[in-house]
Amino acid sequence: MRLWPTLRLSINPKIMANDTIFNANDQRPELEPVGYETGSLTGVFQELVFTVDHKKLGLMYIGSALLFFVVAGLLASLMRIQLAIPGNTFLPPDVFNQSFTMHGTTMVFLVGMPMAFGFANYLVPLMIGARDMAFPRLNAFGFWVFFFSGFLLYFSYIGAPGLYAAGSAPDVGWFAYSPLTSSAFSRGHSTDYWTLSLMLGGIGSVATAINILVTVFCLRCPGMTLGKLPVFVWCMLVMAFLVILAVPCLSACQIMITLDRYLGAKFFDTQAGGDAVLWQHFFWIFGHPEVYILIMPAFAITSEIIPVFSRKPIFGYPVMVAAVISIAFISLGVWAHHMFCVGMVSLANAFFVTSTLLVAIPTGIKIFNWLATMHGGKLRFELPLIFCIAFLFQFLIAGLTGVMLAVAPFDWQLSDSYFVVAHFHYILIGGLLFTIFAGIYYWYPKALGKMPHFKLGLYHFAFFTIGFHLTFLPQHFLGFLGMPRRIYTYQAERGWDEWNLISTIGVAFQAVGIVFFVANLIYSFRRGKKAGDDPWDAWSLEWTTTSPPPEYNFATLPVVKSRRPLWDAKHPDDPDWKHE
Amino acid sequence: MNAAPAPSSADWKLPSPRKLGIISLIVAESALFTIFVVAYLFYINKSLSGPLPKDVLEFPLLSSLALFSSSATIFIAEKFLRVGKRAGFLLWWGLTIALGLYFLYCTGREWSHLIVEKDLTICTNVFGTTFYSLVGLHAFHVIVGVLLLAGIWISSLHNALLTGHVEHVESISYYWHFVDCIWIIVLTVVYVLSVQATP
Amino acid sequence: MPAQAVSPPSPALTKVANIFNPHSGPAELILEPTYLVLLVSLGIFLIVTGLLVYIVIKFRQRSPEDPLTEPPQIYGSYNIELAWTVIPCLVVFVLVLVSARTIVEIQDAPMPENALKIRVVGHQWWWEVHYPDLGIVTANEIHVPTGSEDGTRRPTHITLESADVIHSFWVPQLAGKTDLVPNRINHTWIEPVSPGVFLGNCAEYCGTQHANMLLRVIAQSPEDFAQWVVTQQKAPSIPTEPLATQGRRNFYALSCVNCHKIESTPAEGVFGPDLTKFATRQTLGSGVAPRTPETLRAWLANPASLKPGCYMPDMQLSPQQIDALVAYLETLN
Q: Helix, strand or coil for residue A109?
A: helix
Q: Comparing C-alpha atoms, which of C187, C21, C195, C38 is closest to residue C106?
A: C187
Contact across the interface for B16 and A218, Cβ inside 8 Å: yes
**Amino acid A24: pLDDT:** 40
d(CA A172, CA C23): 34
d(CA A524, CA A528): 4
| Residues C182 and C163: beta-carbon distance below 8 Å | yes
Q: Comparing C-alpha atoms, which of A247, A246, A221, A208 is closest to residue A120?
A: A208
Residue of A nearest to B50 (CA): A272
Q: Helix, strand or coil for residue A388?
A: helix
pLDDT band at C14 (very low <50, low <70, confident <90, very high): confident
Q: Region C193-210: what's the mean pLDDT?
A: 94
Burial of A96 from C-beta contacts in 10 A (0-12 / 13-18 / 19+): buried
Shortest alpha-carbon distance between residue B13 and chain A (Å): 9
Smallest Cβ–Cβ distance between B9 and the set A209, A222, A274 belongs to A222
In this predicted structure, the answer to whether residue C200 has a pLDDT above a threshold of 70 is yes
pLDDT band at C66 (very low <50, low <70, confident <90, very high): low
Question: Poorest-confidence range of A31-35, B151-155, C69-73?
Answer: A31-35
| Residues A176 and A191: beta-carbon distance below 8 Å | yes
DSSP string for A18-61: SGGGG-TT---PPPPP-SS-SSSHHHHHHHHHH---HHHHHHHH
A 233-252 residues inside an 8 A Cβ radius of B:
244-249, 251-252
**CA dihedral sign, ordered A127, A129, A132, A135:** negative
In this predicted structure, the answer to whether residue B164 has a pLDDT above a threshold of 80 is no
pLDDT, tens digit (0-9, with 9 covering 90-100), for A486-541: 999 999 989 999 999 999 999 999 999 999 999 999 999 999 999 999 999 999 99
Q: Which of C40, C85, C92, C310 to mutate to test the interface with A (most CBs of A within 10 A)?
A: C92
Residue of A nearest to C41 (CA): A400
Share of chain B above pLDDT 90, in %: 75
Shortest alpha-carbon distance between residue A443 and chain C (Å): 21
Task: Kindly report the pTM of this predicted structure.
Answer: 0.92
Second-level CATH architecture of C25-107: Orthogonal Bundle (1.10)
Q: Which of the 8 DSSP states describes residue A434?
A: H
Mean of the per-residue pLDDT values for chain B?
Answer: 91
Cis peptide before A179 (omega within 30 of 0): yes
Contact across the interface for C102 and A409, Cβ inside 8 Å: yes
H or E stretch including C216? strand C214-220
**Given a contact as 3+ CB pairs under 8 Å, which chains touch A?**
B, C
**Amino acid A314: pLDDT:** 95
Smallest Cβ–Cβ distance between A410 and the set C15, C30, C205 belongs to C30
Tell me, yes or no, if A214 comes closer than 8 A to chain B by beta carbon.
Answer: yes
Q: Which of the 8 DSSP states describes residue A275?
A: -
Interface contacts A/B by beta carbons within 8 Å:
131
DSSP string for A461-514: HHHHHHHHHHHHHHHHHHHHTTPBTT-S---TTSS-HHHHHHHHHHHHHHHHHH
Instruction: Tell me how far the alpha carbon of residue A9 is from its chain's centroid.
Output: 29
- Which positions in chain A touch B137 (Cβ < 8 Å)? 255
Contact across the interface for C34 and A275, Cβ inside 8 Å: no
**Amino acid A37: pLDDT:** 54
Tell me, yes or no, if C72 comes closer than 8 A to chain A by beta carbon.
Answer: yes
pLDDT, tens digit (0-9, with 9 covering 90-100), for C251-274: 988 889 999 999 888 888 889 999
Instruction: Tell me how far the alpha carbon of residue C180 is from its chain's centroid.
Output: 12
- Which positions in chain A touch B15 (Cβ < 8 Å)? 217-218
Contact across the interface for A270 and C182, Cβ inside 8 Å: yes
Smallest Cβ–Cβ distance between B9 and the set A24, A210, A561 belongs to A24
- Topology, domain A56-556: Cytochrome C Oxidase; Chain A (1.20.210)
Residue of A nearest to C99 (CA): A407
- Give me the residue spans of the domains in chain B: 73-199
**Amino acid A21: pLDDT:** 36
d(CA A294, CA A286): 12
Taking every pair of C-alpha atoms in chain B, what is the biggest distance, in angstroms?
A: 75
Q: Which residues partner with C283 through β-bridges?
A: C290
Cis peptide before A161 (omega within 30 of 0): no
- Which positions in chain B touch A561 (Cβ < 8 Å)? 3-4, 6
Contact across the interface for A316 and C89, Cβ inside 8 Å: no
ipTM score: 0.94
Instruction: Kindly give, in sequence order, each residue whose CB lies less than 8 Å from that of residue A21, ignoring residues fewer than 6 positions away.
Output: A14, A130, A131, A219, A557
**Amino acid C302: pLDDT:** 93
Tell me, yes or no, if C39 comes closer than 8 A to chain A by beta carbon.
Answer: no
**Amino acid A187: pLDDT:** 83
- Give me the residue spans of the domains in chain C: 25-107, 116-233, 242-267+276-329
**Amino acid A5: pLDDT:** 39
Smallest Cβ–Cβ distance between A278 and the set B25, B42, B123 belongs to B42
Helix residue ranges per DSSP H, A84-135: 93-105, 113-127
Contact across the interface for B12 and A134, Cβ inside 8 Å: no
In this predicted structure, the answer to whether residue C313 has a pLDDT above a threshold of 50 is yes
Q: Region C103-128: what's the mean pLDDT?
A: 93
pLDDT band at C25 (very low <50, low <70, confident <90, very high): confident
Instruction: Tell me how far the alpha carbon of residue C16 is from its chain's centroid.
Output: 13
Contact across the interface for B48 and A273, Cβ inside 8 Å: yes
Contact across the interface for A180 and C206, Cβ inside 8 Å: yes
- Which positions in chain A touch C102 (Cβ < 8 Å)? 408-409
| Residues A244 and B31: beta-carbon distance below 8 Å | yes
For residue A539, is it left (φ>0), alpha (ψ between -120 and 50) or beta? alpha
Smallest Cβ–Cβ distance between A252 and the set B35, B122, B125 belongs to B35
- Which positions in chain A touch B45 (Cβ < 8 Å)? none
Helix residue ranges per DSSP H, chain C: 25-58, 78-107, 222-233, 242-253, 293-301, 303-306, 319-329
- Which whole-number Å values give the CA distances from A261 to A113, B40, B127, C42, C91, in the listed order? 27, 19, 17, 48, 47
pLDDT band at C67 (very low <50, low <70, confident <90, very high): low
Task: Tell me which CATH code domain C116-233 carries.
Answer: 2.60.40.420
d(CA A567, CA A312): 10
| Residues A361 and A399: beta-carbon distance below 8 Å | no
Q: Comparing C-alpha atoms, which of C141, C110, C143 is closest to residue C126?
A: C141
Tell me, yes or no, if C35 comes closer than 8 A to chain A by beta carbon.
Answer: no
**Amino acid C264: pLDDT:** 81
**CA dihedral sign, ordered A32, A36, A41, A44:** negative
Mean of the per-residue pLDDT values for chain C?
Answer: 91
Instruction: Tell me how far the alpha carbon of residue C305 is from its chain's centroid.
Output: 24
Second-level CATH architecture of B73-199: Up-down Bundle (1.20)
Dihedral (C-alpha) C76, C77, C82, C84: value to the nearest 10 degrees?
A: -60
b/e code A520-546 from CB counts within 10 Å (16+ = b): bbeebeeebeebeebbbbbbbbbbbbe
- Which positions in chain B touch A24 (Cβ < 8 Å)? 9
Instruction: Tell me how far the alpha carbon of residue B40 is from its chain's centroid.
Output: 18
Backbone angles phi, psi at A168, to 5 degrees: -175, -140
Q: Comparing C-alpha atoms, which of A266, A149, A222 is closest to residue A557?
A: A222
Collect the ranges in chain A with pLDDT lower than 50: 1-30, 33-35, 162-166
d(CA A33, CA A573): 43
Share of chain B above pLDDT 70, in %: 94
